[in-house]
């Protein structure tokens, strides 16, 4: 019998509901599009640090830093965007890193939680091309910027065509992140009712944001949006194909996150 957790469900139109759900029910609500976000308290606030420490010990990698300077290119989004000579190099680096860390990550409380409550398995692109299970992320305090993780959208369907990246099918991708440390101001997680239709449309937005942040944010203002504030121990499950971002916080923020697709059961990757 699967465990049940307190869950708050949100849609961008403003509907909000509270219920007691299994993890699978929560994922299905987002997967079927009934809610944009489900926030689920899966661990006591005082115990969630242990998940982070085990992840650090067994993940064999330092966390990713979203200041721009130490992002180590180990998540799937960069290989998906790669063009030209990077098109082969980036996937190679990604799969080498995944191979190195996944055996450790399989023993973490984070992975065993998803294994037990959602029966997840890793996502393989080929017999020996296994995708990485999760990433630990740190968002240092930032002032003078609107976002510590700029608005973006994630889907395997957004990969560039070509032989550089093996996962391209149009699947309903869902994301989840566990908050290990939240900021002391109200910065949280923002999601817009905007679903880029293609890699090209997403790239246009990214280029606009790089050139003129104000214009990109004004563009997003035409869409309804929702901001929530996950606390330590909350798992935030959301439709990551919709544009989303992390507003700047005044203190360090720490999360562990992954993507999920439903094939023959749930598959986890990052």
Ligand X SMILES: O=C(O)CCC(=O)C(=O)O
The residues of the shown chain that bind ligand X, judged by CB under 6 A, are 137, 149, 154, 175, 177, 240, 244, 246, 255, 257
Residue number with CB closer to ligand X (102 or 255) = 255
Shortest reach from residue 177's CB to ligand X, in Å? 4
Q: How does DSSP assign the chain, residue by residue? A: ----EEEEEE-TTS-EEEEEE-HHHHHHHHHTTS-SEEEEE-S-TTTTHHHHHHHHHHH-SPPEETTSSS--S-STHHHHH--TTHHHHHHHHHHHHHHHHHHHHTTSHHHHHHHHHH--EE-EEETTEEPP--EEEEE----S-SEEEEEE---GGGSPSSSS-S--S----EEEEEEEE--SSS--EEEES----SHHHHHHHHHHHHH-HHHHHHHHTTS-EEEE---TTEEEEE-TTS-EEEE--SS-EEEEEEEEEEESEEEEE-
Shortest reach from residue 178's CB to ligand X, in Å? 9
Residue number with CB closer to ligand X (4 or 172) = 172
Shortest reach from residue 148's CB to ligand X, in Å? 9
Q: Which residue lies nearest ligand X, judged by its C-beta?
A: 255
Shortest reach from residue 185's CB to ligand X, in Å? 15
Residue number with CB closer to ligand X (37 or 240) = 240
Residue number with CB closer to ligand X (67 or 126) = 67
Shortest reach from residue 85's CB to ligand X, in Å? 26
Residue number with CB closer to ligand X (98 or 246) = 246
């Amino acid at each position: 019998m699967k465990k049940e957790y307190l869950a708050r469900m949100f849609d961008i139109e403003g509907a909000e509901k509270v219920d007691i759900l299994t993890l699978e029910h929560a994922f299905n609500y987002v997967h079927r599009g009934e809610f944009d976000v489900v926030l689920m308290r899966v661990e006591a606030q005082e115990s969630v640090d242990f998940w982070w420490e085990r992840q650090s010990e067994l993940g064999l990698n330092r966390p990713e830093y979203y200041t721009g300077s130490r992002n180590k290119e180990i998540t799937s989004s960069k290989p998906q965007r790669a063009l030209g000579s990077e098109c082969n190099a980036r996937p190679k680096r990604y799969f080498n890193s995944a191979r190195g860390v996944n055996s450790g990550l399989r023993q973490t409380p984070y992975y065993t939680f998803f294994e037990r409550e959602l029966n997840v398995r890793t996502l393989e692109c080929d017999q020996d091309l296994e995708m990485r299970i999760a990433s630990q992320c740190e968002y240092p305090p930032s002032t003078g910027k609107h976002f510590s993780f700029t608005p973006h959208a994630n889907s395997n369907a957004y990969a560039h065509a070509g032989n550089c990246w093996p996962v391209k099918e149009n699947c309903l991708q869902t994301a989840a992140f566990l908050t290990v440390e939240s900021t002391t101001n109200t910065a949280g997680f923002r999601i817009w009712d905007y679903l880029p239709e293609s890699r090209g449309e997403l790239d246009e937005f990214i280029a606009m944001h790089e050139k003129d942040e104000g214009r990109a944010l004004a563009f997003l203002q035409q869409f309804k949006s929702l901001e929530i504030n996950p606390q330590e121990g909350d798992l935030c499950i959301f439709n990551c194909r919709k544009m989303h971002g992390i507003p700047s916080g005044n203190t360090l923020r720490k999360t562990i996150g992954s993507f999920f697709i439903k094939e023959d059961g749930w598959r986890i990757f990052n």
